[in-house]
């Protein structure tokens, strides 16, 4: 085989035709891992033996059942890189923190199990901001991941390694967690499609907990079509996570969009002070594309947007300080002296806002402003089917640029945290490139459990644009 297959359907068509084997697919990805992992710092652990074992099983399944294998195993042969926050039985799971650097779990997360049962092949565990704490990947205790598009820049975080793996041709799909931006930001910075699902649509079971009312389990792919395929496998009720509901997806077909039945809202607050001019221009072009397709574009207002980061940086550290309270070095992992700076900062911030005398002023007030943010979205969705906005106010920034300024770093999440606070889905889609060749994504947000609409909107965009076909030349 010469080139790596791009989409799941292309891959599976070739596997079934026996144009190449799943083992050969793994050969190709592993060759690229060996060539680029050292420079880009993408994987914490490469699971070569397991990948070959699963690839052989996929090949046997195809030999035995031919095309029918695909109905039983919808992700047959799909090579996946899992963020190192997803527990994998028998495979070291570190959260990219020194606290867990030798932790080998006794069970796997629901997402990992569902993908495995669907025929996916795990190639390794990817680097991330330790515990998911960051938007750039630089807070990993094992060193930052670099952006394959420009290795002097960040790939976005916290699911930094999964994004770099897919963008760099080291995996077909990367899993991630999105608590405030952590799937959409790296997707946007690496020219990928990234889903932050509705809170309560994908099980969180077996994933290192960060902020429990905000954590969602997402994934990154090269196309919207593939993203939908992964979602269909991982979503749905799980006895092990009481927040997850089955929700029958309302099928939206592309014709409905073409017939002008869709209204998309543009929130004016997402284009104000602080947005990079090139990002703004790129998003405006995306909006023009949608207009050409017959989508009705309406200006909407989300007036509490400017408070979202403040609310988020109270609620999230509060929940984080509680979740990280379990690490005492007794039952598993090392002691609390092994926490890195960002974890310490968030634990202390969270402890402070929950402590006697400050609870009402910070935490309770933040929970109330959270209600106002949710109300903003409800009002907007009374007028529109979905909202279109930038993912990040800037293109991928330089490594080290925001290291010593936590507030500046936190503000890079200004367009993404609201979706987490409101529990709604967000889909990041490649929207173009800056003059310097850096990727810029846009996001589509919808009401709870509206993933299907977002996928449909993303798919029609990818039919008329080619941004997602642009590949890194490593």
Partner 1 sequence: MAKLSEIDVEHVAKLAKLELTSDEVKKFRNQLGEILEYMDQLMEVDVAMVEPTSQTTGLTNVVREDEIDMTRVFGQKEAISGTEKTLNGYFVVPALLNKNNE
Binding site for partner 1 (CB under 8 A): 103-104, 106-107, 199-200, 213, 239-240, 242-243, 245, 304, 306-307, 309-311, 313-314, 321, 325, 328-333, 336-337, 339, 344-345, 347-349, 351-352, 355, 361-362, 364-372, 374, 406-407, 410, 422-423, 448
We find the least distance from the C-beta atom of residue 443 to partner 1, in angstroms, to be 18
What is residue 318's three-state secondary structure?
Answer: helix
Closer CB to partner 1, 64 or 106, in the complex: 106
Let me know how many helices (H) and strands (E) the chain has, helices first. Answer: 16, 11
Closest separation in Å from C-beta 201 to partner 1: 10
- As measured in angstroms, the least distance from the Cβ of 348 to partner 1 is 5
Pairing status of strand 193-196 against strand 426-433: antiparallel
Residue closer to partner 1, measured from CB, 404 or 473? 404
Q: State the nearest-atom distance from the C-beta of 308 to partner 1, in Å.
A: 11
Supply the minimum distance, in Å, between the C-beta of residue 334 and partner 1.
10
How far is the C-alpha of 455 from the C-alpha of 429, rounded, in Å?
A: 10
Residue 173 CA to residue 231 CA, distance in Å, equals 12
Catalytic residue annotation: 83, 158, 182
Q: Which is nearer to partner 1, 108 or 145 (CB)?
A: 108
**Residue positions counted in the chain:** 474
- H or E element in which residue 351 lies: helix 341-354
- Nearer CB in complex with partner 1: 313/381: 313
* Smallest distance, partner 1 to C-beta of residue 401, A: 17
Q: Cβ closer to partner 1: 6 or 374?
A: 374
Decide: 115 and 80 in contact? Cβ < 8 Å.
yes
The count of other CB atoms within 10 Å of the CB of residue 217 is 29
Nearer to partner 1, 59 or 451 (CB): 451
3-state secondary structure of 343: helix
Output the CA torsion 359→363→369→370 (10° steps): -150
Q: HEC string of 100-133?
A: HCCCCCCCCCHHHHHHHHCCCEEEEEECCCHHHC
Shortest reach from residue 88's CB to partner 1, in Å: 14
Q: Are 442 and 238 in contact (CB under 8 A)?
A: no
Sheet holding 79-83, edge to edge: 43-46, 121-126, 79-83, 173-178, 216-221, 193-196, 426-433, 439-445, 386-390, 263-267, 296-300
CA dist., res. 362 & res. 305, Å (int): 18
Phi, psi values for residue 432, rounded to 5° = 150, -170
Question: CA–CA separation, 82 vs 243, rounded Å?
Answer: 22
Closer by beta carbon to partner 1, 236 or else 406: 406
Question: Which of 246, 221, 231 is CA-nearest to residue 111?
Answer: 231
Q: How far is residue 179's CA from residue 164's CA, in Å, rounded to a whole number?
A: 19
Considering the complex, what minimum distance in angstroms separates the CB of residue 19 from partner 1?
39
- Does the bond joining 158 to the residue before it have cis omega, within 30 degrees of 0? yes
**Do the beta carbons of residue 420 and residue 312 sit within 8 Å?**
yes
Instruction: Pick between residue 150 and residue 178 the one whose CB is nearest to partner 1.
Output: 178
């Amino acid at each position: 085989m010469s080139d790596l297959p791009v989409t799941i359907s292309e891959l599976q068509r070739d596997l079934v035709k026996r144009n190449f084997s799943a083992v050969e697919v793994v050969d190709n990805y592993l060759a690229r891992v060996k060539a680029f992992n050292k420079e880009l710092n993408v994987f914490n652990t490469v699971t070569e033996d397991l990948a070959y074992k699963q690839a052989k099983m996929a090949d046997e399944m195809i030999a035995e059942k031919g095309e029918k294998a695909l109905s039983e195993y919808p992700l047959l042969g799909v090579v996946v890189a899992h963020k190192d926050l997803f527990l994998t039985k028998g495979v070291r799971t570190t959260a990219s923190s020194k606290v867990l650097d030798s932790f080998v779990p006794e069970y796997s997360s629901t997402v990992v199990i569902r993908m495995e049962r669907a025929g996916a092949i795990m190639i390794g565990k990817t680097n991330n901001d330790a515990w998911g704490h960051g938007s750039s990947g630089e807070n990993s205790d094992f060193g930052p991941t670099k952006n394959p598009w420009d290795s002097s820049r960040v790939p976005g975080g916290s699911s930094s390694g999964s994004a770099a793996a897919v963008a760099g041709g080291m995996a077909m799909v990367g899993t991630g967690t999105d608590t405030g931006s952590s799937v959409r930001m790296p997707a946007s910075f690496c020219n990928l499609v990234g889903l932050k699902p509705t809170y309560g649509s994908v099980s969180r079971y077996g994933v290192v907990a960060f902020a429990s009312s905000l954590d969602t389990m997402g994934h990154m792919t090269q196309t919207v079509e593939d993203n939908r395929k992964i979602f269909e496998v991982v979503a749905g009720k799980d006895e092990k996570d009481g927040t997850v509901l089955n929700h029958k997806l309302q099928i939206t077909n592309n014709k409905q969009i073409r017939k002008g039945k869709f209204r998309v809202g543009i929130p004016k607050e997402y284009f104000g002070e602080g947005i990079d001019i090139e990002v703004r221009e790129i998003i405006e072009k995306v909006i023009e594309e949608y207009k050409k397709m017959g989508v009705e574009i309406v200006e909407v207002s989300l007036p509490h947007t400017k408070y979202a980061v403040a609310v988020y940086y109270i609620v999230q550290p509060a929940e984080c300080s509680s979740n990280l309270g379990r690490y005492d070095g007794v039952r598993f992992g090392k002691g609390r002296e092994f926490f890195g700076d960002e974890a310490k900062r968030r634990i202390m911030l969270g402890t402070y806002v929950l402590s006697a005398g400050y609870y009402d002023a910070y935490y309770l007030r933040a929970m109330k402003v959270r209600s106002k943010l949710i109300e903003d979205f409800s009002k907007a969705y009374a007028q529109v089917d979905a909202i279109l906005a930038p993912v990040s106010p800037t293109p991928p920034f330089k490594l080290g640029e925001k290291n010593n300024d936590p507030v500046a770093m936190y503000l890079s999440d200004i367009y993404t945290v609201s979706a987490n606070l409101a529990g709604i889905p967000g889909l990041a889609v490649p929207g173009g490139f800056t003059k310097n060749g850096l990727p810029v994504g846009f996001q589509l947000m919808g009401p709870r459990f509206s993933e299907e609409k977002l996928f449909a909107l993303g798919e029609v965009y990818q039919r008329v644009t080619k941004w997602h076909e642009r590949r890194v030349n490593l």
